[in-house]
Amino acid sequence: MTSIELLAPAGDMDKLKTALLYGADAVYLGGEQFGLRAAAGNFTLAQFKEAVTVTHGWGKRLYLTLNAYVRPSEFDLLDDYLEQLKPLAIDGYIVSDPGVLSRIRQLDPQREIHLSTQANTTNGYSCQFWQQQGVQRINLARELSLDEIAEVRRHSDVELEVFVHGAMCVAYSGRCLLSTAMTARSANEGACAQPCRWKYSLVEQTRPGQSFAIEEDARGTYIMNSRDLCLLDQIPDLVAAGVNSLKIEGRMKTLYYVAAVTRVYRAALDRYLADPQGYQCDPLWRQELDKVSHRPYATDFLPVDDAAVHAEDSRYRRSHDFIGIVRRIGEDGRALIEGRNRFFVGDEVDLIGPAMRQNTFRVADCCDDKQQPLSVIQPNAMVWTQLPAGAAVGDMLRRKKMTGSGWTGVAKS
């Protein structure tokens, strides 16, 4: 049990460092080619070198996503890319396409290979097959129940990985053609436009231009929208089922998301591994996850209970805004804050850090690098202010979301 991995997303270098600081055992990231997040802050070859150095400096692991499905005309480009990646000490490639797997085995046979959830692995016999092809780890299809995951483990000794948190898709483990059909942007090539999350209505043939809401309540319904995944409560069951790696979704999510979610799952996993018999899920952990922008949480298919398509509210919920990150602690104890959203002197603010460290305080005097006082801190501003004792570089600042009439717990996506 002590070898169970917490795997976090790294959409760019800043997020990679944040994931490591906040407790990830490993990170996964994408390059400029053959990943499935074309809009993420994907890494160049030069940045890969730094990413590997930083990650291994923490004694942790780094995986590269090569999980796109490759067209016949693209294999020369793939081969060239693999040759350029070959000298780098990346700990493993995440793939979906058997053709990609075949080229890796031919050109870089010593490289560890992980199979993406896009490959839709749902049973132990499939695991045995992929293991025979040189795959060391399989990210199981999200459609499996806990009992089915345990059954897969009984028929295979390959490493098993599951998603435990983040956005879900109504397509079968993400293999969707809706975006291609409607926008010519392929989800299977990393360019999904997320049309399943758009708002739809009906138009009657003889009444062009008149749309009718498909209503389930006063706001209508969003028939293809899925909830967000949250398996915090299921960590003991997943460990008991034989899962080796718990994966957090979100290479396109914010720096605050990476920090806030990673630290919660780190705390929960550590507490369980330290005392499985006495383990209890801390209510604070779920409260913290509720403070991250999200759609209504669900356990996906663990167990298969009800249809998860008709979420009660399709809009993202965001009770708190991420307003800044600590970039430096000065000799006088004051902190240099990089602003991310506007905030004001006098605001009540939460300071959060690794290992579930957190404190609530009121923002005191702020000044810029020229020691000019500020009453309003704008996004991207660099300001000096006093923080509670124990604050450290990498800590995050957040406050309750504000509107014209106060704060609200619901925000549009």
Q: What is the mean pLDDT of residues 297-302?
A: 72
Residue 149 has pLDDT above 80, yes or no: yes
pLDDT band at 215 (very low <50, low <70, confident <90, very high): low
Beta strands 335-339 and 320-329 are antiparallel
Given this model, what pLDDT does residue 220 score? 44
Lowest mean pLDDT, pick from 22-36, 78-92, 130-144: 22-36
Lowest mean pLDDT, pick from 201-210, 260-269, 354-363: 201-210
Given this model, what pLDDT does residue 401 score? 86
Q: Determine the distance from the C-alpha atom of residue 262 to the mean position of all C-alpha atoms in its chain, rounded to a whole number.
A: 9
Who has greater pLDDT, 160 or 213? 160
Residue 413 has pLDDT above 50, yes or no: no
pLDDT in tens, 334-348: 999 999 999 999 999
Given this model, what pLDDT does residue 310 score? 47
Given this model, what pLDDT does residue 121 score? 94
Beta strands 348-352 and 396-400 are antiparallel
Given this model, what pLDDT does residue 37 score? 58
Q: What is the mean pLDDT of residues 233-258?
A: 95
Who has greater pLDDT, 379 or 195? 379
Tokens linked to 313 = 């509210």
Residue 36 has pLDDT above 50, yes or no: yes
Given this model, what pLDDT does residue 206 score? 81
Question: What letter represents residue 6's amino acid?
Answer: L
Residue 185 has pLDDT above 90, yes or no: no
Q: What is the dihedral of CA 79, 63, 71, 118, to 10 degrees?
A: 150
Residue 214 has pLDDT above 80, yes or no: no
Residue 40 has pLDDT above 60, yes or no: no
d(CA 224, CA 198): 8
**CATH dotted code for 320-400:** 2.40.30.10
d(CA 117, CA 173): 6
Beta bridge partners of 326: 337
Q: What is the mean pLDDT of residues 122-143?
A: 95
pLDDT band at 182 (very low <50, low <70, confident <90, very high): confident
Mean pLDDT over the full length of the chain: 86
Tell me which of 3.40.50.300, 3.40.50.150, 3.30.360.10, 3.20.20.70 is the CATH number of domain 5-174+226-298: 3.20.20.70
Who has greater pLDDT, 34 or 240? 240
Who has greater pLDDT, 383 or 300? 383
Given this model, what pLDDT does residue 241 score? 95
Among 22-26, 120-124, 183-187, 294-298, the range with the most confident prediction by mean pLDDT is 22-26
d(CA 93, CA 65): 6
Task: Give the contacts of 110 (CB within 8 A, at least 6 positions apart).
Answer: none
Task: Name which of 134, 121, 114, 213 is nearest 172 in CA terms.
Answer: 121
Q: Where are the domains of the chain?
A: 5-174+226-298, 320-400
Given this model, what pLDDT does residue 300 score? 66
pLDDT band at 208 (very low <50, low <70, confident <90, very high): confident
pLDDT band at 406 (very low <50, low <70, confident <90, very high): very low
